[in-house]
Structure 1
């Protein structure tokens, strides 16, 4: 699918349907990045469906507690709980997984909403760029939910972004595509210290999120009761771009006024809810799919190309190797539940 600038405008101006209704009284829902933006608004929508348990996974204790209080005040829901996780810290992710093993029980819906919009290199304590995919993809708890949702955006295609963002094109040179340690390279200080390489960083991370969903889905036995999807909330008002400065902030301000006027974070969150709750009678329709604007659509031409598939396989294999060293449970679960490593 080629995603043109005109397609983007039409999608932004299209009237948005209300959030889907559902009864979640016996289910557990986990939302990452739940204290603000689309994550908080999605949590509110889930709260109105009265799940047995709603976990708001946040990095900040104070902001998370404020979000739980605000959610209770606005929905009347009293079963929301705050769990702390910092995706920029592998040890925090491990503690979260440990806690879920002890206290989590069954997980029915997992919305991996956390994201950061940054075009500068910020090293984590584990020496990865803070926006690098392994930080976000390491966040899954050890018990598989019945529905796992991973956030991406419509502009996850390098070719599309070159046309759409002419002033800041997404460029990853061929040597990086062919690099056997592509994630390590893209997340390292040497690569990220070059401002040219950081242009279009956010769409690039979403491309790898899409790769992760497609790679995981392709390795899941069909009998596994897990539906994994990618979804974009669209271009909407939120705090995602709060770190923008200078000309980038000015351009984004005009973009919001022109294209996000009807798309609040609440509107964007309806798409997350749709991806989690639609096709409940035929969940197989959503397996490994990418959804945008309340419908299943084809992924980008690049993601489907031989070059994209090759990068998808290599990045998956590298990711499993990296995270297996962080926590042995990753490698053990891959070996136990997924198909074997695929070479390219």
Structure 2
């Protein structure tokens, strides 16, 4: 478990250097790339001469501004803006279809986009927004692009990576027993009845970061060990972030003070995303299903590793595949072709 004292000590640890490598010819995609740690990560990748660098953003204006800002900061002049709105399944499907039609390779997918809502808001797909954005759509992107990444590995003799940005706050959330035994857990968690309770929404971000860890573990468990694809989860640490811009009242005041006392810059947090995408080039298998923090592999929450956690993870996976299969039937064929039942 991560104690609050462990958290404090981590925020005062010496900064880790930025990991670098030559990305010539490779394609990097960063979701949520127009601001914060996502944008800072693109700056680091741009300095490594990638063949293609795709900034996947929700807003045309903000995304284009990020592309121009990136060019001014790094001199990298060929960054591409692709639009994707994770609060809209149709947008995610369109993004994946565009990538299929583009015909290019995909070596690194950094899934950084997230929201930090504390009040219930429904998407047009009738899901609670943070559950759809942080979890369902994040998983949908990864699964839809999985065949392209495995093909990239085969065609170019490389080992692509999916990096899911989670958080150390996953240590501080445990699912209630009755939820763990609910065969429709995700639907319950996304329902108006569950989310209308203020207490449930106050811990929503913690829940979604736990679900990110479950997804990484679940996907890794279903990939054959010989599959040339690494999926890992990473915590960037507590950083200055727009995620908490929705805070109000006492919560906003406390966060304001904590940021000024403890928070990393977005640039420092982004180094963890880069590390997760590039570390252990000689032995990438070390990062299969790993949870990364402070440029090293850490053990996840006790709940995740417990028998109840393992059972919950499998239940969530099965429900997620059913939900996403209804969103896009390709999910079922991808799961059948590339994944196997969890061992």
Task: Using structure 2 for the length normalisation, give the TM-score.
Answer: 0.93
2:119 is equivalent to residue 105 of structure 1: no
Q: 1:325 to 1:81 in 2, by over 3 A?
A: same
Deviation for aligned residue 1:341: 6.8
2:268 is equivalent to residue 254 of structure 1: no
The residue number in structure 2 matching 1:17 is 16
Deviation for aligned residue 1:74: 0.3
Which has the larger helix fraction? Answer: 2
Structure 1 regions of 5+ residues with no counterpart? Answer: 162-169
The residue number in structure 2 matching 1:136 is 138
Q: Secondary structure at the match of 1:240?
A: helix
The residue number in structure 2 matching 1:340 is 341
Q: Secondary structure at the match of 1:55?
A: strand
Distance 2:217 2:195 in 1: 26
2:259 is equivalent to residue 275 of structure 1: no
The residue number in structure 1 matching 2:246 is 243
Higher mean Cα deviation, 209-218 or 221-230?
Answer: 221-230
The residue number in structure 2 matching 1:74 is 73
Distance 2:226 2:175 in 1: 37
Alignment of 1:186-197 (within 5 A): 186-197=189-200
2:202 is equivalent to residue 199 of structure 1: yes
Higher mean Cα deviation, 53-62 or 128-137?
Answer: 128-137
The residue number in structure 2 matching 1:184 is 187
Task: Using structure 1 for the length normalisation, give the TM-score.
Answer: 0.93
Deviation for aligned residue 1:137: 1.6
Distance 2:116 2:110 in 1: 18
The residue number in structure 2 matching 1:167 is none
Residues 229-268 of structure 1: per-residue CA shift (max 9 Å, x gap): 00000001121111111111111111112211xx100000
> Are the equivalent residues in 1 in contact too, given 2:55–2:67 (CA < 8 A)?
yes
2:321 is equivalent to residue 320 of structure 1: yes
2:123 is equivalent to residue 124 of structure 1: yes
Residues 107-138 of structure 1: per-residue CA shift (max 9 Å, x gap): 00000000111111110000001110213221
Deviation for aligned residue 1:200: 1.4
> Are the equivalent residues in 1 in contact too, given 2:163–2:232 (CA < 8 A)?
yes
Deviation for aligned residue 1:172: 4.2
2:161 is equivalent to residue 147 of structure 1: yes
> Are the equivalent residues in 2 in contact too, given 1:47–1:75 (CA < 8 A)?
yes
The residue number in structure 2 matching 1:299 is 300
Distance 1:44 1:243 in 2: 27
How many residue pairs get aligned? The number is 328
Q: Secondary structure at the match of 2:28?
A: strand
> Are the equivalent residues in 2 in contact too, given 1:317–1:341 (CA < 8 A)?
no
Deviation for aligned residue 1:72: 0.3
Deviation for aligned residue 1:171: 6.4
Distance 1:341 1:225 in 2: 18
> Are the equivalent residues in 1 in contact too, given 2:234–2:292 (CA < 8 A)?
yes
Moved over 6 A (4+): none
The residue number in structure 2 matching 1:228 is 231
> Are the equivalent residues in 2 in contact too, given 1:87–1:136 (CA < 8 A)?
yes
Distance 1:144 1:28 in 2: 10
Structure 2 regions of 5+ residues with no counterpart? Answer: 151-159
Distance 2:53 2:227 in 1: 23
Deviation for aligned residue 1:144: 2.5
Higher mean Cα deviation, 301-310 or 55-64?
Answer: 301-310
The residue number in structure 2 matching 1:95 is 94
